[in-house]
Amino acid sequence: MNPVYSHLFNLVIVGAQKTGKTHFMNKLSNQICERYEPTIGVDFATKTVKCDSEKTAKIHVWDTSREERYDKITRSYFRGSHSFVIMFNINQIESFEKCKKIIGEINEIAYGNPAVILIGNQIGENREVSFDEAVEFAYQYNIAYYEVSGDMTDDAEIYLRKLVQLIFINRENE
């Protein structure tokens, strides 16, 4: 019996607390949640993405907690991951400042050349991180930058497809 996918990839969603990581994962996996609780350690979902007529990717999505007491657990998921979504809250400069440390951890722990995107979430009137500042940061690390509103209506699916494309590009360039 043939599997319904030709490739299997791991995606780790990482960022400071309260940046929308769980909401992003739930949007990817079509889960509806009325009330969000802090993630304890790691949460998990799967998503299948049709890439083209020959490629279908099954994605294991890992939603990680950034509480210090879970750092060893969550960092262990970095190994073997093919892609990362780094999220920060545009209205909280502290969450943006933590992105540099996260990129350092990815570079230190992850194997190969994982696909990485940076997502600024929760666009509002109390913006503390400018669009230009976030774009410059992403440019420094050669990663794509996107902004989403809190509801992320169709954005999560679009960004997942972009990540899968980056994974294939990175694999071809290895």
For residue 112, give the CATH number of its domain: 3.40.50.300
User: CA–CA separation, 168 vs 72, rounded Å?
Assistant: 29
The domain of 149 spans 7-172
- In this prediction the pTM is 0.85
Instruction: Please check whether residue 82 lies inside any domain of the structure.
Output: yes
Instruction: Please check whether residue 137 lies inside any domain of the structure.
Output: yes
Q: Return the pLDDT at 1.
A: 44
Instruction: Please check whether residue 163 lies inside any domain of the structure.
Output: yes
Q: Return the pLDDT at 49.
A: 86
Instruction: Please check whether residue 71 lies inside any domain of the structure.
Output: yes
Into how many domains does the chain fold?
A: 1
Of 141, 142, 143, 146, which Cα lies nearest the Cα of 159?
Answer: 146
Q: Return the pLDDT at 84.
A: 93
Q: Return the pLDDT at 51.
A: 81
User: CA–CA separation, 157 vs 138, rounded Å?
Assistant: 21
Q: Is 69 helix (H, G, I), strand (E, B) or coil?
A: helix
Q: Which amino acid type is present at position 29?
A: S
Residue 147 near residue 130, CB atoms below 8 Å: no
Instruction: Please check whether residue 1 lies inside any domain of the structure.
Output: no
Instruction: Please check whether residue 39 lies inside any domain of the structure.
Output: yes
Q: Which amino acid type is present at position 52?
A: D
Residues of the chain where predicted confidence (pLDDT) is lower than 70: 1-3, 30-43, 65-74, 77, 150-154, 174
Strands 42-50 and 56-64, bridge-based pairing = antiparallel
| Helical (H) or strand (E) element with 15 | strand 7-15
Instruction: Please check whether residue 2 lies inside any domain of the structure.
Output: no
Instruction: Please check whether residue 78 lies inside any domain of the structure.
Output: yes
